[in-house]
Structure 1
């Protein structure tokens, strides 16, 4: 039944393609399922893990906001600082709950997160709320104890550790998920290649089966045809085909054709034989040789030649391309034009020339046995579309028969077409070989595109949704890129400033070392000479050396004060004390101070005070005088001849608006100092205001001085709300003009406090001087304005026999203090550090006063004073703190640690004795 069923070749091919398509569809479904699974895993990692990190960062930010807000409120007392604290306390629990719910699939991480919650609540209760309440209640002692115990920082350190541990565990989970994604991706590739391999095997098997069923019968037909051809014209053989398809129909038609061919004559047999010789020939010469070598024996010819049409020098000629059995030919017979000889005439007339009974000397045919002369000559044109493409010339010993002419006539069209085809093939063969490679590539790409088309249709909807999301992300990325570019520009600018600042600091430290070593050098040399004096040095020399040592020490102290002033200004910690300053006293003061300098250098020094200048203005008089003195010092320093003029006037309203951006109607003081000195180049007029810089723009000391004066002037002027303008010409002198407005209570831009005169006792480093003056006044009040001799006598009685404990680790300071105190009749006990002082006081507390250094080994001054007040309970024992630190908060720290009073190093012995008189007098009154 199956054999009777007719299945044609088309049906077989369609069945094969359908089977392959079904296999491809199944493979696409498998791969699509794996791709969807992988996409879900990627989405989980990209959304879940990022959200966990974001929520943890938000909780950390909430804690940082609360801590910053709490500290800002505690420091300033301003409730605005509580806004980030309140915001953080409201939102941290929501973020915590979101994070807790997000990691519900991980009990271990949930437990780690749950351990963080009580720590946060503990900080809020025991640190944040406690400090805020204490600050609100103005309980400074509770705040001091809170920050001293440092409980809040300990909780925050524990919280940071817990956050780091949680984040580290989360990063490990993310890394594990990423590794799982990599493994899934690898598995997907394995599945894809496996499916493709299986499908390829099935496709090959189907192709083999179909091709075998099709080509089997075709090969059978080919074998039969070849057998017929091999049998030299025996057309009795028939083709036998068992399949029931188009091949069978082809075999039947072939058998009918064979039956018809049997009726053909030998002309048709030879025609078919000659026609088959043209196949596979791609060269015109080979075609000609094959044609003539086949045709000549077929017609019984002993000579033959083929002439092909060629263009030579713009003329049409017929050139001999191949010959048969030719020997000893005349070279002139290799080419003929139209009408030349029989060949040319045949091409021109386009007809066959047949000649019998040729003369014996017309052409010779040579063999090994002899030479023969053909009797018949046939010259025939080969026509294609009315154009002569070639001419055939053959000769035979026998006359040509009619069947020979019929064969020649039948071959004309076939041979002419062969000539054109071979010539065309030779022209396009190169292009064909190149295009064949491109065709194969395009075919392979077409198959791939067809397979990808179906996959792209499935992904089209996903891409549409992804495209919308990417558009939003692209907009966000563009904004982020702009922000990053601005941040990059700011960082580059900051890097340049930082590099400049680093070089500036290096120069500053190098020059600072030089300036400090200069006075120290004279101090050390002269001190060594005094120490090595064996009595040979006269008293006048000792006094001179001591005076130089004292002057060098004052210079060193002044330099340190300048550096401290500059550093305080740059750190924003300097305090300006606003008070009424008598402007009319300044000319006399400056005249007294710089008049001798002018006389010594033989310079004219004039001070002009204009009439419209107000008598009094509100400013820091000490800072103003320091600025003016520095400017005058520079003027005298850089002026060798001529004059120096100081003018005090009201500023031009236009300059006030331009420089200070103030109301032009406001009265602003303009103090200008003009000299006839060396002058300043224009490009160096801003450099001179930098520390350690002078007119030449370097840090050299050509004109002496530290180079800090103008830098301090500029900073003090800025703090006073004013401006300094310099106008100079090289070789003609300079004019420095100080524009100074009335001071205001506060200046938030510079973060500098302007203290009224009534609060001067709280104003930074000057509190020490005021305290000493107040104590000295109190001492004078105690002695009731007695005469000097009575005061000295009372002073000797006050110090005589007093026991003082000196706690200091510096042997030089100890030697100097003990010597000075013993000259007052005081008994001094020395302790090298705080621990030794405690041991001495535990053995005997019968001391009238303690002088306590701050920076010491083993136990410092702060800890020692706290132990004296707390551990030893010596609450009434006066303690005077001695410290080299000159910072604002140093006095408060000493008083909080238990000191009765405070004095800075280097010590002014008169101030120290004044403080001792006050506290020893109080001790006398108590007893």
Structure 2
């Protein structure tokens, strides 16, 4: 290097006149300066590196500072390594009992056959731990470890395994992997951090150990404290025992002295006792003789008591089962006597008319007496049926008012109703039985009151009332009192009036008639319903009979020895029915004779005739109905059992049907179910006429009404008026109550056709006014309306006693609670919940109530209805057992049945059939051949019926024998039905459908689609 310089030389005037050039070699100095610069740069770089390393180490230390367990520390450590060192994979192994256990990983993909625990010296991890030195491996093999992501995976280029130490003690091993190589700076960061990591992990390990020790110490302390307490108690007990022992020893000493004195006394007494014993032996012999006589008398009394109990039981059971037998002939008597008394043809004299009226009046009185006796005997025999539901008290009061208002007017008495508004308006009980008790009270009140008033009062019990039942309180019951101003009851007679056949006035010259059964029945009904009856009366000052009803009925088992037994109505057991074949020819002569006697109109009915199908097993009542209906312009068909009824309904499609519920083959409820499911018969109006009481089930199944036998001519007139109204020509009017305009339009388009007029309204108030003014065939009601709820609409309409409510379909999107559903069930039985297929259900329910023939619907409507009524769907996935030793028959029948959707289980003898029933779950019906090896069908059916699980399992017997005694033997052995071979498949399928049919099939459940 050369350094040059130019210096000018100035003259006296200050002007430069010459330049002097200087040159100097500065190479050495320059090299020294450059060297100093390089050293300075390196020093700065080293200092910067140290600062970065120190900062990274400090960052790592800060990230793991705090009270964390070892697993949490490892996770936080990996998070910082990923930020600072950019590691791709990491694993942390903690030393536990001379082994290295994996406690935390980072981006590590678990591979098969790789252990999470290493011994010292095992693998890189174990070797690092053994040597306590860092191991770095580059050029990692492809199959060693992979760095994985969602898009792929790669092999790391370097792996570093580093020991974590504290004061020379190995605590853990850290293993990391990177795709890129580790720089010296990164290695330095890791090495410098290891000491702090060791300190932190040592603290965490110590904390974990201290925590475990603390828990153990606490546990041991608690155990020690418990042991000390136990020891203290033991010591106290020992001290107490010692005190007792000391006292006992003192007592023993005293007793020993007394015993010595007693021995002397005993010796003296023994001498006297010998004398007494000789005397007692003689007396004992006399007493034994008397005891034998008493035992004989006791046995005699018990035998008579048993005989009396059996006699009473047989009497009660006989009377309780006589309902049908007594009411059936009385039914004919009342109707025919009423027909004669009416003298419509005018061919009877006045005396003959009066005689007929006397017969009818006497028959009516006899019916009342029979009903009372039957009710009482049912209670005594434990046969009384109750139906518990939510009952509105104002409905009971309205019913009683409508029944007794005419009586009050006739006797010139005032009939008052007083309902306290603060009490609950609903109770859970049997409303019909409560009404029956109150009717008895009111009947007596009007009977024994000649002037003044009768009051029906619903109230909260007063604090002064004392109940006999411990479960009763002022808060959980309601009182209904019948208060009269009549003759009253003397104190000494108030106890006996509730006994059967007892009256307050039992003299021969008494003023008032009656049997004395009403109050006895009321008392027994009150017991069954968990109610109490209180009576307050004074002679010539009137009486007050009060029925206290629990707000919620609770079924309780009767006290031991109590004769009555609560029976809740259930579905008719299949095994107890007496089935007959659908084919009239196979039923034997009895069916043919009954049909010939009645001479119905089946041979001359044309398509346009107005016709009635009578399904009734009482020939006399069938004849009465047939004559009555012919006068009303109907041609008649008569079926004496359910099967024939179904066959005639399908074949002739009558204009109307009357249905008895007590049929000899299948129950009327099943017949009703099938008629309303079959599209060919669904539109036919069906009225139930039966001795059975009205049930909600028949209403839900689509019956237009329920008439209890015996029926009067007036009752039958009402039935046929209903038929005429439903079958009238002209359009049907529907009211849609829906506040949403779009829903109104959709519903109108869905149901509208040439025979229907749709009226719509968007509020509850308007709906009430329309229903009061106009006559609608059906109402579709939404529950959410702008001015009032659907519940309030129904309550308001129900308070109109003169209003005849049309069928109502609830169409709503609300999720109904159980209580809401029960409340709505008091007004309607049809619910459609808005959903994907709710329009199909709505259309189906509507045309059920309108009794519309399928052919009158539009093509689109017919398709919707068809989808919901496929007969074969009853058979889908139903499992039946086919028992036959002829494999050809088994194969042929099983092939046909499987095509219909049935699941078939097969057995070739009776013994195997029993085994199949035990091993196969869900068998719903058995088809049983009779002649088989190992065990025949008779024995197999008897064995099946012995098992309580299968007591109601339907069995169809197949027999090649056609004699009546063979069929009778099959029924006695346990069959519900039978077919003769060769089997007609169509008839077999029909029987299977009948026995498998259930009214609760899924698509017709109230929940909707």
Q: Same fold (TM over 0.5)?
A: no
Give the helix-richer structure, 1 or 2: 1
Q: Which structure has the bigger radius of gyration?
A: 1
TM-score by length of 1: 0.32
TM-score by length of 2: 0.30
